[in-house]
Chain A
Amino acid sequence: MVTPLMPAHMRDVTVTRQGKQVLGPVDLTLGQSGFTILLGPNGAGKTTFLKALHGLERLSTGSVTWSAPDDVARMKQAYVFQSPVMLRRSVRANLGYPLAILGQPKAQVNDAVEAWATRIGLTAALDRPATGLSGGEKQKLALARALIRDPEILLLDEPCSNLDGRSVKDIEALLTAAHQAGTRIVMATHDLGQARRLATEILFLFKGHIHEAGPAPDAFDAPQTPEFKSFLNGDILI
C-alpha cells in the first residue's frame, strides 16, 4: 500500500532573513483534499510560505512534515513559479523533462507529452523552442510540466499574474480538473475574484502571519479578523 502524502503539518515554522522575520510562526495542518487559496497583499510572505512548504526555503525554526517519508514526499510535490522557468529546449523536451530525468522509457515519456500537449493546446508547437512561446502558453506549459509526474500536491505561486483573460480561463480549467481528479492544491493569488471562483479553503497571510484560515464560502461571508475584512473591502493594508 502506498503511503499518502497528505496531511502535512507545519509546526512553529519561521523564516528569518537578514535579521527580519518574514514568515511565521506558522502552525498549520493541510488536510487530505481541497483547493487552498493563499491570499494576502504583496510582501505578506505568500511566496516564502509556499517555498517553506516545498522545502526551497531554509527554516529558522520549526518543521514541515509530510505523511510520507521525506524522499517520497519530494517526488510527490510539484511547484509552479510566478514567472515560468522555461528550459532552453523544445516544448516537447520541457514537458518531458520531469519524466525523462527519472529514467522513464522514451515511448512512455512521449505518450505523456503528447497527451498533455493536446490538453494545453500546444501540439503544433511541440518541436519549437519553449522560450519563444507567449506568456500564457509558457505558464500553461509550466503547469502541464508540473502535473505530468501526477503529483499529490500542487503548489502555485500567482501563476496568473500578468496573463490575459483567455489564458487565465484555460489555466483555471486545468486546475479545476486537477482538483476534481484528487490533486491537493495550494495556490497563492491576490486576485479575489479568482479566489472566489476556485477556493474550497482560504488562508489569509499578512506580515508573515496567518490571520484567517477556514472553508471558502464562510471566510468570504463572515471574515473573522479585521485585517481580512479590510482586505476584502479593498483597503490598503500597511
Chain B
Amino acid sequence: MNDIWAGLSSAFWLVVTGDPDLIEITLRSLQVSLTALVIASAIALPFGTWLAIRRFRFRRTAIAVLNSLMGLPPVVVGLIVYLLLSRSGPFGVLGLLFTPTAMIIAQVIIITPLIASITHQAMRDLWAEYHDLLISLNTTPTRRILTLISDGRRALLTAALAGFGRAIGEVGAIMIVGGNIDHATRVLTTSIALETGKGDFALALGLGFVLIALALTVNLIIHALSRTEREGRW
C-alpha cells in the first residue's frame, strides 16, 4: 500500500513540476500510438466492414485468421518486425530499426487485427439490419461500406479506442524494435519497465498513473470531438 501512495505522489510531482523527461516520453508515446492508430484504423475499418458485407469463399477462414491474430503476443510481433528491419533482414537497408517508425510499424501490426475484428462484429449486425434496404435502393458496394461506416461510427470509435488502449499500453514489441533509447525511442511503457527493473517502484508506478491519465484524456477528447451535432440515442 505504501508503494501505491508513493507512486501516486511521485506521479503528482512529475506532473506538477512539468518534468521535461516526462513530457518528452509522454509526447513520444502519443506520437507513436496515435500514428499507429490512424494507420491501423485506415486499414482495419474499411477491411472489417468489407468482410462483414462481402460473401466469398474463404470468408470464414479469413475471419478465423483475423480473430486469432488478435491474440498475437506483442513480443512475437516485436521479434518478427525486428528480424525484418534488422540490418541483416530484408528491410535492413531502410535503417528503420530503433526508430519511432519501427515502433509504429509494430503497433500497427498488433492493433489492426483487433480493430478489424471488432469492426467486423459490429458491422455484421448493422449489415443484417441494413441489408434489404441498401440492396433495394440499388446502392453500389462502395456506397454500402460508406453508409455502414458512417452509421456505425460509434461502434467503430469503440473499436479504434480499444486499439489505442492496446497500443499505448504495449511494451513487449516496442521494447524490442525501439530499443528504449533515451531521447530517441523511450516511451512511457518502456520507462516503466526500466524503472521496475531498477526497483524504483514509486517512479514506475508514477509513470503508470501518468499513462492511465493519458489514455483517459485521449478517450475523453476523442469522444468529445466525435460527438455528433445531434444528441440522442441511435
Contacts and interface: CB of A to CB of B under 8 A. Distances in A.
B232 A132 contact: yes
A132 B151 contact: no
Interface string B138-174: 1100010001000110000000000000000000000
B227 interface: no
A46 to B, nearest CB: 15
B19 interface: no
B220 to A, nearest CB: 23
A89 B151 contact: yes
A123 B24 CA distance: 54
Given A101-B137, A101-B139, A132-B233, A56 B132 contact: yes
B230 interface: yes
A93 to B, nearest CB: 9
Summarize A's interface: helix, strand, loop or mixed: mixed
B230 A81 contact: no
8 contacts: A54-B136, A81-B133, A87-B147, A87-B151, A88-B126, A101-B137, A129-B230, A132-B232
A30 interface: no
A85 B139 contact: no
Interface string A52-87: 001010000000000000000011001101000101
Contacts of B232: 128-129, 132
A131 interface: yes
B234 interface: yes
Interface in A118-163: 127-129, 131-132
A98 interface: yes
Contacts of B137: 97-98, 101
A200 interface: no
Interface in B118-137: 126, 129-130, 132-133, 135-137
A85 B230 contact: no
Interface in B61-116: none
Chain A CB count within 10 A is highest, among B126, B138, B143, for B138
Interface residues of B, number: 18
A97 to B, nearest CB: 8
B184 to A, nearest CB: 45
Given A81-B132, A101-B143, A88 B138 contact: no
Given A54-B136, A79-B136, A101-B139, A85 B233 contact: no
A127 B230 contact: yes
What 10 A-B pairs come out closest when comparing CB atoms? A85-B133, A88-B234, A88-B151, A79-B136, A74-B138, A129-B232, A129-B234, A98-B137, A101-B143, A131-B234
A177 to B, nearest CB: 22
Interface of A: 54, 56, 74-75, 78-79, 81, 85, 87-90, 97-98, 101, 127-129, 131-132
Contacts of B234: 88-89, 129, 131
A120 B109 CA distance: 50
Contact of B130 (A75, A87, A90, A98): A87
A87 B148 CA distance: 9
Nearest to B129: A85
Contacts of B126: 88
A183 B135 CA distance: 21
A98 B152 CA distance: 19
A185 to B, nearest CB: 16
A74 B137 CA distance: 8
A128 B135 CA distance: 25
A159 B233 CA distance: 25
Contacts of A56: 132, 135-136
Contacts of B132: 56, 79, 81, 85
A131 B230 contact: no
A128 B229 CA distance: 11
Contacts of A131: 233-234
Contacts of A79: 132, 136
Given A88-B126, A88-B151, A97-B137, 10 more contacts: A56-B136, A79-B132, A81-B132, A85-B130, A85-B133, A87-B130, A87-B151, A88-B152, A98-B137, A129-B233
A54 B137 CA distance: 11
Contacts of B138: 74-75
